Amino acid sequence: CLRVQCVGTGQNDDGFYMRRCVELARKAVGHTSPNPVVGCVIVKDGKVVGEGFHPKAGQPHAEVFALRNAGDLAENATAYVSLEPCNHFGRTPPCTEALIKAKVKKVVVGMVDQNPTVASRGVKRLRDASIEVVVGVEEELCKRLTEAFTHRMLTGKPFLTVRYSLSVNGNLLDQLGEGVIESGGYYSRLLQEYDALVVSSSLLSENISLPSSREPGANQPLHIIIQRSSTSSIPIPMINDEVTGKVIVFTDSMTGAAPEVAQKGIETVALDQINLDVILDYCYRQGLCSVLLDLRGPFVDFEELIKEGMEKKYFNKFVTEILPAWNGCAKEDSAMTLKSLGQGLEVTNLLSKSSHGS
Ligand code: AOF
Ligand code: ZN
């Protein structure tokens, strides 16, 4: 951006630099769980002298990369950070100390970190060191960026999104077509963002590959396959060929999944009833922040999960795709209509106004 090279024009630049932090943070969406994505910009005399973002849990935080990038120019500069700098020893040392040591003059923070071990202590530590701190610049944007992380921190559950398609006349589509993946960039983006994808084994028995594939080196999403005893067994070669991330099968068959599943080292959890509590707990324990319940395949496979999600208000967001004319891969399912999800839509719109990771 041209303006980054130029001298700033005063107070309103805070928003400008914070939006740049958000832009930097977004580079790591899908890579950082259980940590949040964070971006940092160091500005001196109206010029950006350092930039950084948190690439992955276990690696240095955004502030550290930005300070390294700025070198000596960090002295007397202003640091912009989309999340409150941490003041604790986690996998990495506290960012507050790094900022103090670099002698920055001012720190502009997008939002307070809801992690109970940080929660305003970072801001306090900086102020105690006589650094001027401003909190809440582009706060909504920063909150949206980390909503899955914050939700996990505050509730002990991953952020849960349901994705489905509707026909123009409001019926849920029973999608089995590969076409769905190509149907829009937005769906592909969801697949990059979420830490876990819940799909039906029916999808695989229709010979449709699991949605995944991120660039090499990225965190691959956990694939959770719902296998109902009423549905056919999973074609194992399909899983091996198409999926680089970890796969787990949740089945309601007490005999477990097909023997080939165990042979391939795919973890199987046999349950009386496949439910969200077990799925969400499992994901939480794996350190995941976000789960996408991807309603592709026959809705009978998802009906119980949707019911439980509605009753327990587990759904944080609904992503709806309106498909005007379907190409024959899908059929409208009369069992569930928009009406049955309507209530949830209202609840969710209140909880989460906008899209995760954007
Ligand atoms: C920051 N900057 O870029 C990030 C922060 O185990 P650690 O050391 O990685 O600490 C993880 C916690 O630090 C995480 O739960 C969150 O509260 C905060 N993340 N803080 O100052 C960053 N990623
Ligand atoms: Zn930190």
Proximal ligand: closest to the CA of 66: 1
Does 120 contact ligand 1 (Cβ within 6 A)?
Answer: no
pLDDT in tens, 191-233: 888 999 998 887 777 666 666 666 666 677 888 988 887 766 6
Indicate which residue's Cα is closest to atom 15 of ligand 1.
35
CB 306 within 8 A of CB 177: no
Ligand 1 in reach of 54 Cβ (< 6 A): yes
pLDDT 10s digits, 308-317: 998 898 999 8
Residue nearest to atom 3 of ligand 1 (CA): 61
The H-or-E segment that residue 40 falls in is strand 39-44
Residues of the chain below pLDDT 70? 1-12, 166-186, 206-218, 231-244, 254-259, 322-358
Q: Whole-model pTM?
A: 0.84
Residue of the CA atom closest to atom 14 of ligand 1: 35
The answer to whether the CB of 98 is under 6 A from ligand 1 is no
Give this complex's ipTM: 0.98
Percentages of the chain per state (helix, strand, coil), in multiples of 5: 35, 20, 45
- Bridge partner residues of 178 (DSSP): none
Q: How far is the C-alpha of 26 from the C-alpha of 319, rounded, in Å?
A: 20
Q: Which two tokens stand for residue 197?
A: 């994808």
- Catalytic site residue 260? no
Question: Pick the catalytic residue: 23, 51, 63, 139?
Answer: 63
Rounded Cα distance, 37 and 340, in Å: 35
Angle at which helices 276-285 and 303-311 pack, to 10 degrees? 80
Tens digit of each residue's pLDDT (9 = 90 or more) over 127-170: 999 999 999 999 999 999 999 999 999 999 999 998 877 666 66
DSSP 103-143: T-SEEEESS----TTTTTHHHHHHHHTT-EEEE-TTHHHHH
Q: What is the pLDDT of residue 330?
A: 41
In the three-class reduction of DSSP (H, G, I as helix; E, B as strand; rest coil), residue 98 is classed as helix
